């Protein structure tokens, strides 16, 4: 019953965004940020702690300012996701200004499959939907089911509204491998905390666990690893550039290759977090080992 009630409110909020309009709703996101930062401080302690430890030279005032903007950033992202059912194909295609989307197509045309990564940064849902439309090639998006099965079903519908397909993580890693071998583009968000027996690396000055799945796939299939992070602009548009993570000068052994590729992925993400800390999702317990 709880899941159904939550889902009803979720859908009502989506209709409210439609009635108010996306641009007006984005501006009103500050209200949601104020509520969840001051009145109902969900994971506020975690956010402050993560920021303080990652940026020890920042003053408490600056940390609090970034934390609040993080909440507003997430509120904007949530509103934008709720608006997807009401957006046209043309509107979604223009959401991300990807200066080199054609690079993905070029790599795809090489016939080795493509591993396309992003992070919980800006609006990670929009980059998969928008860029796939720009190049006219579907992405096979690896997703993690939500706690609420109704919301999971809703998200699957919006993620596949146009040309993309979904693969549920943890259910069929063989399917991910299969899609790469079939020369398809597999997209995934790659910044979650890894398993307890996963690879430990220094991340923003502290030890953190990492998934090595993307690196393992890259080593075993030979597929290129691309990374695209959408950065929100002041006018709510997004800019992104697709870069290839180098696989040159890797160690000889497979484990060493996997570790080094994972380090390179980590370092690429760190650069964006340090430049735009307010746009990363600090609410998860990323450093829990």
Interval 4-17: pLDDT, tens: 899 999 999 999 99
Taking 70 as the threshold, does the pLDDT of residue 171 lie above it?
no
Going by pLDDT thresholds of 50, 70 and 90, the confidence category of residue 190 is: confident
Going by pLDDT thresholds of 50, 70 and 90, the confidence category of residue 163 is: very high
Residues above pLDDT 70, as percent of the chain: 99
Taking 70 as the threshold, does the pLDDT of residue 192 lie above it?
yes
CA-wise closest residue to 223 among 109, 108, 106, 113: 113
Q: Could you tell me the CA-to-CA distances from 277 to 44, 56, 63, 202, 234 in Å, in that order?
A: 15, 13, 10, 17, 15
pLDDT in tens, 230-243: 999 999 999 999 99
Token reading at 127: 């980059």
Going by pLDDT thresholds of 50, 70 and 90, the confidence category of residue 139 is: very high
Average pLDDT, the chain: 95
Q: Which residues of 78-92 are buried (b: 16+ CB within 10 A; e: fewer)?
A: bbbbbbbeebeeeeb
Q: Rounded to whole angstroms, how far apart are CA atoms 281 and 289?
A: 18
> What is the rounded radius of gyration, in angstroms, for the C-alpha atoms of the chain?
19
pTM for this predicted structure:
0.94
Mean pLDDT of the region 94-100:
96
Instruction: Identify the three-state secondary structure at position 110.
Output: coil
Going by pLDDT thresholds of 50, 70 and 90, the confidence category of residue 170 is: low
Q: Which residues of 143-168 are buried (b: 16+ CB within 10 A; e: fewer)?
A: beeeebebbbebbbebbeebebbbbe
Q: Rounded to whole angstroms, how far apart are CA atoms 168 and 40?
A: 31
Cβ-based neighbour number of residue 253 at 10 Å: 9
Taking 70 as the threshold, does the pLDDT of residue 228 lie above it?
yes
Cβ-based neighbour number of residue 36 at 10 Å: 18
156, 166 Cβ separation under 8 angstroms: yes
Taking 70 as the threshold, does the pLDDT of residue 51 lie above it?
yes
Mean pLDDT of the region 217-230:
97
Residue-level pLDDT at 168: 82
């Amino acid at each position: 019953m709880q899941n159904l009630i939550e889902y009803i409110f979720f859908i009502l909020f989506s209709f409210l965004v439609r009635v108010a309009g996306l641009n007006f709703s984005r501006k009103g996101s500050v209200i949601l940020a104020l509520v969840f930062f001051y009145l109902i401080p969900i994971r506020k302690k975690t956010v402050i702690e993560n920021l303080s430890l990652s940026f020890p030279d920042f003053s408490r005032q600056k940390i609090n300012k970034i934390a609040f903007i993080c909440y507003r950033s997430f509120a904007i992202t949530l509103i934008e996701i709720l608006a997807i059912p009401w957006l046209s194909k043309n509107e979604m295609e223009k959401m991300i200004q990807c200066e080199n989307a054609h690079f993905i197509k070029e790599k795809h045309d090489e016939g080795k499959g493509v591993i396309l990564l992003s992070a919980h940064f800006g609006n990670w849902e929009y980059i998969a939907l928008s860029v796939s439309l720009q190049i006219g090639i579907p992405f096979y998006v690896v997703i993690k089911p939500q706690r609420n099965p109704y919301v999971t079903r809703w998200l699957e519908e919006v993620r596949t509204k146009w040309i993309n397909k979904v693969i549920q993580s943890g259910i069929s890693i063989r399917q991910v491998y299969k899609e790469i071998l079939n020369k398809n583009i597999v997209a995934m968000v790659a910044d979650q905390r890894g398993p307890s027996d996963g690879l430990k690396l220094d991340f923003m000055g502290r030890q953190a666990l990492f998934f090595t799945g993307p690196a393992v796939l890259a080593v075993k299939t030979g597929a290129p690893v691309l990374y695209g992070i959408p950065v929100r602009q002041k006018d709510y548009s997004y800019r992104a550039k697709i870069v290839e993570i180098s696989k040159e000068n890797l160690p000889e052994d497979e484990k060493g290759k996997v570790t080094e590729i994972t380090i390179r992925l980590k370092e690429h993400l760190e650069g964006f977090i340090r430049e735009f800390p307010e746009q990363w999702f600090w609410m998860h317990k990323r450093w829990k080992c």
